[in-house]
Structure 1
Amino acid sequence: MELITSAERDRLFESFERDAFHLELRDDYGSPVEDTPYASWQRGEPDDFSWLDPWMTLMKRVTSQGKTVRRVRVVTEPHSQYVGWEHSLTRLNVQAGEDIRWLPRHRLPVGCTFPLRGNDWWLYDDRLLAVGHFDQDGRVLGSQLIEDPQVVTECAQVRDQLWGLAVPHAEYKP
């Protein structure tokens, strides 16, 4: 299986036309760009959020063009420390134009199954998937690109089902 890097995946935001949707299913992530700010947060130290500037700039540009960037974060309650940190930062994503919703795992519909072996994915314009792959410690390995119409349709159906159930960030109180 061929994987693209996070930087290569981020370049997909330059070519989609209408909607990018991210399904997040993990309660902990490992990313080198987040390691230092996350450790600082755990110690109660202030953050200038400069490490987020490239993503925020990209999101502002994309959403100012009328494109939507949405996420549903399926999370376990009570939250892991990582999800608590992520929740504290989400206001910045929203300010940059993303629409982010939260769905407590215990509120998933009975029988809900996730395609792609439960991996996270980005779905671009209901035509292209970038499926996240992680090592056993939760570190990002890269993303697999999939254009198979059947798999894309299955993911779009999950997106539509969960989007309607998830709680907008401004209303979600952990």
Structure 2
Amino acid sequence: MELISSAERNQLFESYERVAFHLELRDDYSVPDEDGPFESWLRGDPVDYSYLEPWLELMKQATGGGKTVRRVRIVTEPHTPYIQWEHITTTLNAEAGEDIRWLPRHLVPESMTFPLDGNDWWLFDERLLAVGHFDSEGRVLGSEIIERPGVVGECVRLRDMLWNIAIPHAEYKP
């Protein structure tokens, strides 16, 4: 399996035409850029969110150009400390134009199954998937590009179902 870097995956935001959608299934993300800010937050210290600026600029460019960026975050309740922190920082993502919804894991229909071994994925324009892969400690290894119509179609169907039952960020009260 060939993986692309996060930077290469982010280049997909420059070439998609209409809708990018991210499904997040993990209760913790060990992203190196977030280690310091997350630790500061845990200690109750002021947090420097400047590490987010490149992402937020990318989102502003995409959504400012008329494109849509959506996410559904499926989370366990009660939340892990990471998800508590992520909920707070989501305001920054929303201000940059992302539309984010939350779905408590216990509200996921029992009959629902997640393709791609339960990995997170980005879906671009209902034609291309960037599937996230992680090591045993939760660190991002990279993304696998998948364009097989059957797999993409299953993810489109799942996206639509989840979007309809997930709770908009402004309404989700952990």
TM range (shorter): over 0.9
- In the other structure, the counterpart of 1:49 is 49
What is the deviation of 1:40? 0.8
Q: Deviations over 1:67-98 (max 9, x none)?
A: 00000000000000000010010000000000
Q: Which runs of 4+ in 1 moved over 6 A?
A: none
- In the other structure, the counterpart of 1:4 is 4
Q: How does 1:46-125 map to 2 (within 5 A)?
A: 46-125=46-125
Counterparts of 1:137 and 1:112, CA distance in 2 = 26
SS in 2 for 1:173: coil
What is the deviation of 1:109? 1.0
Counterparts of 1:94 and 1:171, CA distance in 2 = 13
SS in 2 for 1:150: helix
TM-score normalised over the length of structure 1: 0.99
SS in 2 for 1:92: helix
Sequence identity percentage: 68
SS in 2 for 1:129: strand
Please, which runs of 5 or more residues in structure 2 have no aligned partner? none
Q: Deviations over 1:83-128 (max 9, x none)?
A: 0010010000000000000000000012110000100000000000
- In the other structure, the counterpart of 1:158 is 158
RMSD: 0.5
What is the deviation of 1:49? 1.1
Q: Which amino acid aligns with 2:27?
A: D
Q: Which amino acid aligns with 2:66?
A: G
What is the deviation of 1:48? 3.0
Counterparts of 2:88 and 2:64, CA distance in 1 = 24
SS in 1 for 2:109: coil
Q: Which amino acid aligns with 1:80?
A: T
SS in 1 for 2:16: coil
SS in 2 for 1:170: helix
Q: Which amino acid aligns with 2:17?
A: E
What is the deviation of 1:50? 0.6
Q: How does 1:9-24 map to 2 (within 5 A)?
A: 9-24=9-24
Q: How many residues align?
A: 174
What is the deviation of 1:47? 1.5
Counterparts of 2:64 and 2:156, CA distance in 1 = 24
Please, which runs of 5 or more residues in structure 1 have no aligned partner? none
